[in-house]
Each structure stands twice: as structure tokens, then as C-alpha cells.
């Protein structure tokens, strides 16, 4: 297995430059993949950082999945969608081992049964981490996210 290239250097991405299914950025052992799908409210961009390609899967059990996810280091992606209207808003959602996992959040608060309303609201929020980005007066915006290998960030226009 190889070490990630330049782990502290951000990767800058112009989101609209991608076509479906093609790598957006490729440098030796670093691939940032992007898919573009037509959603109900416009295009959606999905970004996944793959630190390295594994020769084999480490197993189907949870410990095997966690071992696979532990390969490689965190990278910062600076995503710059182009061609947006001034003031438009994008919804960013992230999913990964430590994000978007309501079960892990439930365990972290002591596995309460039943949950209070506040605990239920916190678990719902943990299941769908979201952030709203707004374009400036010229239609420019930048979304910066730190992803571990195999985590996914999704951007969609509101």
C-alpha cells in the first residue's frame, strides 16, 4: 500500500467540469471521483475521495469495512461549482464512517431506550449532516470539506 500524495495540500475542483463517471482529479494514488445526476431541482454532484485502490476487500463484516475505511488519510477538497446564479444556494450533505451514522451517534449518547425528543432530534441531525452554501453577487461559491477515504460529499442546488 502506498502513502497518500501531499496529504495536507487541498485539492481544488471545478465541479461543472466533470462528466458522469469520469475521475475529476487523478494523481498517482489519489483519485477524486465525481458523478453528476439530474435531480428534481437541478444537477447533483457527488464527490468521493479514494486514497488508494485496494487489491482485495478486507471482509463483509463491520470490522472488515472499518479496516477498509481506515486505509489512507484525510484530504481537503475545495469544490467550486461554476455557472451559478448570483445568490443561489447549494445543499451539501456528507456521509462517511463518522458522518451520517445515526447508530454510532445513538451509541455515543449511551443507547437510550426510549429516546427523548431532544435525543431523537439529535439522532436525525446526525443521520443527515448538512450545510447550505450561498453564491456571491457574481455567482461564485466555494465549498470546502475534509473527507476521509470513501466518504462522500454531495452538492445539490436548492
CA–CA dist 33, 97 (Å, integer): 18
- pLDDT of 120 > 80? The answer is yes
Angle at the Cα of 94 from the Cα atoms of 128 and 154, rounded to 5 degrees: 110
* 136: three-class secondary structure by DSSP: coil
The full set of domain ranges for the chain reads 11-157
Tell me the C-alpha distance between 67 and 14, whole Å. 31
Model pLDDT for residues 83-111, shown as the tens digit of each residue:
778 888 888 888 776 677 888 889 999 99
pTM value is: 0.58
Candidate CATH numbers 2.60.40, 1.10.3470, 3.40.720, 2.60.11; the one for domain 11-157: 2.60.40
Q: So what's the pLDDT on residue 118?
A: 94
Q: Average per-residue pLDDT in the chain? A: 69
Please tell me the least confidently modeled range out of 70-84, 88-102, 128-142.
Answer: 70-84
pLDDT score of 28: 42
Nearest-angstrom CA–CA distance, 29 and 27: 6
End-to-end CA, the chain: 40
Amino acid at each position: 500500500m502506498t502513502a497518500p500524495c501531499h496529504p495536507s495540500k487541498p485539492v481544488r475542483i471545478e465541479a461543472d467540469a466533470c462528466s458522469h463517471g469520469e475521475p475529476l482529479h487523478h494523481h498517482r494514488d489519489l483519485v477524486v471521483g465525481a458523478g453528476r445526476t439530474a435531480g428534481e431541482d437541478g444537477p447533483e454532484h457527488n464527490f468521493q475521495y479514494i486514497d488508494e485502490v485496494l487489491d482485495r476487500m478486507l471482509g463483509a463484516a463491520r470490522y472488515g469495512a472499518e479496516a477498509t475505511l481506515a486505509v489512507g488519510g484525510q484530504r481537503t477538497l475545495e469544490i467550486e461549482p461554476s455557472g451559478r446564479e448570483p445568490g443561489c444556494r447549494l445543499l451539501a450533505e456528507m456521509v462517511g464512517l463518522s458522518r451520517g451514522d445515526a447508530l454510532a451517534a445513538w451509541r455515543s449518547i449511551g443507547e437510550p431506550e426510549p429516546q427523548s425528543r431532544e435525543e431523537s432530534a439529535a439522532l436525525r441531525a446526525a443521520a443527515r449532516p448538512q450545510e447550505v452554501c450561498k453564491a456571491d453577487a457574481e455567482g461564485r461559491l466555494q465549498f470546502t470539506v475534509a473527507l476521509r477515504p470513501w466518504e462522500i460529499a454531495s452538492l445539490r442546488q436548492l
